[in-house]
């Protein structure tokens, strides 16, 4: 594998493109918005500068990494002659199915199609294509350039050859791939999201306040950040979407989203990206604190 395409220039997409380009892969970053592509490349450059400041890479390595990245607003051009496509668009089933149907038509038969979904069924996504054996999940963690884990999710029809190839590829990116089976939420979010949801329920029931809940989990359980702060960092809308996927998939009430979470999302309080969630980032500048923890 030498040529990679990444769909979506947002937080996850530009992070995935950054890592592939840094490790020498020719990388096409695709988004329907030219502005999003500009912001994505600017973010990559900024993160490379941080690595230079920490003496992780050199100026020359930064230049080589950026030279490996090309941007496209046209999907057909962006996926032409690539070995692997990684979809990192919004966590929306209808959108992902649409993208994979198009990819199946536009990509060469040999091309492997991967999704960075954090909860949606790989088997369901693969069924939208004529190559379900070549569809797999690659769930990178945020921030991608720093976090080592990649959940490799095998759909019902994903071949052994493709699974082994993607596992080996993750190792070449200096990541730690972990193979999991295709069930709602996989492993990471099946464990994480109920914890976050329970923290929100604890707040909703008046057991303790935001700072108190997060302090207990940080100092008592040695978590790097509390679950409510982490939910703000992930995005409350994303948390709600993942919980809904698990609730629909398992039909188990323990995955039902807390009413407080649903109301906050409806009110547009999505966390860091909207400026307010469980914390008021505009007033307290906690957004800056959060980002520094991941630099």
Binding residue positions for NAD(+): 8-13, 31, 91, 96, 118, 142, 273
Query: In Å, how far are 20, 65, 141, 159, 284 from 57, measured between CA atoms?
Result: 15, 10, 21, 36, 33
In the residue annotation, 139 being an active-site residue is answered as yes
Please tell me which residue in 139, 197, 241, 274 is annotated as part of the active site: 139
Annotated active-site residue 151? The verdict is: yes
Per the residue annotation, which of 28, 118, 197, 241 is the catalytic one?
118
Annotated active-site residue in 14, 116, 119, 189: 189
> To which residue do tokens 């990819």 refer?
103
Backbone angles phi, psi at 4, to 5 degrees: -125, 145
CA angle 278, 10, 2 (to 5 degrees): 140
- The C-alpha atoms of residue 279 and residue 225 are separated, in whole angstroms, by 13
102 is catalytic: no
Name the token pair of 141. 């963690």
Single out the residue of 255, 121, 116, 261 nearest to residue 193, CA to CA.
255
Residue 189 falls in the annotated catalytic set:
yes
> Which residues are catalytic, by number?
118, 139, 151, 189
């Amino acid at each position: 594998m030498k040529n990679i395409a990444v769909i979506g220039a947002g937080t996850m997409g530009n992070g995935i493109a950054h890592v592939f380009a840094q490790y020498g892969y020719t990388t096409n970053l695709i988004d329907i918005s030219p502005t999003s592509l500009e912001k994505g490349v600017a973010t990559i450059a900024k993160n490379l500068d941080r690595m230079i400041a920490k003496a992780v890479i050199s100026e020359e390595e930064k230049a080589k990494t950026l030279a490996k990245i090309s941007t496209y607003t046209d999907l057909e051009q962006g996926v032409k002659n690539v070995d692997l496509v990684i979809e990192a668009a919004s966590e929306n089933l209808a959108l992902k199915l649409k993208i994979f149907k198009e990819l199946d038509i536009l990509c060469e038969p040999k091309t492997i199609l991967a999704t960075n979904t954090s909860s949606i069924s790989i088997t369901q996504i693969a069924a939208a294509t004529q190559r379900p054996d070549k569809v797999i999940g690659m769930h990178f963690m945020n921030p991608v350039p720093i976090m080592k884990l990649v959940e490799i999710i095998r759909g019902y029809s994903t071949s052994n050859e493709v699974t082994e190839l993607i596992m080996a590829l993750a190792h070449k990116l200096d990541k730690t791939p972990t193979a999991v089976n295709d069930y709602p939420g996989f492993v990471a979010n099946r464990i994480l999201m109920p914890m976050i949801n329970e923290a929100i329920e604890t707040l909703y029931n008046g057991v303790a306040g935001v700072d108190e809940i997060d302090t207990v989990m940080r100092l008592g359980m040695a978590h790097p950040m509390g679950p409510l702060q982490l939910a703000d960092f992930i995005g409350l809308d994303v948390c709600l979407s993942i919980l809904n996927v698990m609730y629909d998939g398992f039909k188990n009430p323990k995955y039902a989203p807390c009413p407080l979470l649903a109301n906050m999302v409806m009110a547009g309080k999505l966390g860091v990206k909207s400026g307010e969630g469980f914390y008021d980032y505009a007033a307290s500048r906690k957004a800056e604190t959060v980002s520094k923890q991941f630099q």
